[in-house]
Amino acid sequence: MSKPQMNPYVRHIFICTGRYCDPEGTAPQLYAQLAQLLGPLGNYHNPCRVKRGTTPCLGVCSAGPIVVIYPEGIWYHHVDKTVLERIVREHLVQNRPVVEHIFHQLHEQ
């Protein structure tokens, strides 16, 4: 049995789809929009790739949808389409986290 191969990536963004975090059910739409917003950053062969994923629970269960970006460990609250656009443009492209929507950081700056 051969091991799978993983192309390089620099960040991984997760969107919580849990019913307490996302009672309106908007997270799946955000996930779909994220693919388009990432553009070349989402390309499997881009060495600066940003992987995306959903999870049924991030353990916060309120103020969602919640989005977390690793390896920075930056957690965003109340993410809607506008906030997600800013996260991609400012955080993922320009390396400037969207401070007013951060509620937790793995490593405080």
What range does the domain containing 90 cover?
A: 11-105
Give the contacts of 22 (CB within 8 A, at least 6 positions apart).
Answer: 16, 64, 65
Q: What was the pLDDT predicted at 90?
A: 98
Candidate from 2-11, 82-91, 95-104 with smallest mean pLDDT:
2-11
How much is the average pLDDT of 56-67? 93
Domain count, the chain: 1
Using alpha carbons, select from 45, 47, 52 the residue that is nearest to residue 88: 52
Answer yes or no: is 88 within a domain: yes
- 74: domain CATH number? 3.40.30.10
Answer yes or no: is 28 within a domain: yes
What is d(CA 41, CA 5) in angstroms, rounded to the nearest whole number? 19
Answer yes or no: is 5 within a domain: no
Which uninterrupted H or E stretch holds 11? Answer: strand 11-16
Answer yes or no: is 3 within a domain: no
Q: How confident is the model at residue 105 (pLDDT cuts 50, 70, 90)?
A: very high
